[in-house]
Amino acid sequence: MSPEEKLKLIKRLDRALDTVRPHLRVDGGDVEIVDVNDKLEVSVKWLGNCEFCSMSAMTMRAGIKEAIIQQVPEIKDVYPVNGVEAV
């Protein structure tokens, strides 16, 4: 993927995350995109209270991944680089 294609994809991903960010911010948290690799896997970083929240795994599945896959269907997976479910 070219740098231009990657930048466009990240902008689309960011717009998808904007749909869930208000819910995260209510609890003092947020999420940001770290990278998108050539396999179309997105790594995200939990910010604020989300980093240590026991509900972050559920939020990842039911909020973050769902929003991204619905709005950017070519994405294959989304995973955190920090927080309670990061490996």
Tell me the pTM.
0.88
Tokens 């770290």 — which residue? 34
Q: Which helix (H) or strand (E) holds 34?
A: strand 29-36
Quick check: 14 pLDDT over 60? yes
CATH placement of domain 3-80: 3.30.300.130
Q: Which residues pair with 36 in a beta bridge?
A: 42
Q: State whether residue 14 is helix, strand or coil.
A: helix
Where do the structural domains in the chain lie, given as residue ranges?
3-80
Residue 54: its pLDDT value, please? Answer: 87
Quick check: 19 pLDDT over 70? yes
Q: Using one digit for the tens of pLDDT, what is the confidence trace for 51-81?
A: 888 888 899 998 999 999 999 999 999 999 9
